[in-house]
C-alpha cells in the first residue's frame, strides 16, 4: 500500500530539494553581488518558491492523495469480505 505512493513522494522530495538548492544559490549570488548580508533575505525567496511549487503541483498532489485514499478504502473493504 505505502509502496505504491513511495516513488511519487520521493520524486516530489527530489523536486523540492532541487528547487531549494537553486533558489539558495541564486539568493547567495545576489547577496554577494549586492553586499546584503541580512538573514531574512534568504527566507523570503525560499518561502515564495515553495509556495509557487505547491501551487503548480497541487493538482497532481491531490490526485495522488485521492488515489491513495481510494486504494486504502478498497483494501479495508476487501478485508471484511
What pLDDT digit, counting tens, does each position of 11-60 carry? 777 877 888 888 888 888 888 888 887 777 778 888 888 788 888 888 88
Among residues 71, 54, 66, which one has the least CA distance to residue 19?
54
- Using CA atoms, how far residue 43 sits from 38, 47, 71, in Å, is 10, 6, 38
User: At residue 81, does pLDDT exceed 70?
Assistant: no
- What does residue 18 show for φ and ψ, rounded to 5 degrees? -65, -40
- Using CA atoms, how far residue 37 sits from 10, 32, 42, 50, 64, in Å, is 33, 8, 9, 22, 40
User: At residue 74, does pLDDT exceed 80?
Assistant: yes
Q: What is the mean pLDDT of residues 70-75?
A: 88
The domain segmentation of the chain, as residue ranges, is 2-80
**pLDDT band, residue 4 (cuts 50/70/90):** low
Amino acid at each position: 500500500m505505502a509502496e505504491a505512493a513511495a516513488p511519487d513522494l520521493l520524486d516530489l522530495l527530489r523536486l523540492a530539494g532541487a528547487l531549494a538548492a537553486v533558489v539558495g544559490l541564486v539568493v547567495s549570488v545576489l547577496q554577494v553581488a549586492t553586499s546584503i548580508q541580512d538573514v531574512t533575505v534568504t527566507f523570503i525567496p525560499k518561502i515564495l518558491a515553495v509556495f509557487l511549487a505547491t501551487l503548480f503541483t497541487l493538482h497532481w498532489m491531490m490526485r495522488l492523495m485521492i488515489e491513495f485514499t481510494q486504494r486504502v478504502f478498497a483494501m479495508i473493504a476487501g478485508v471484511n469480505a
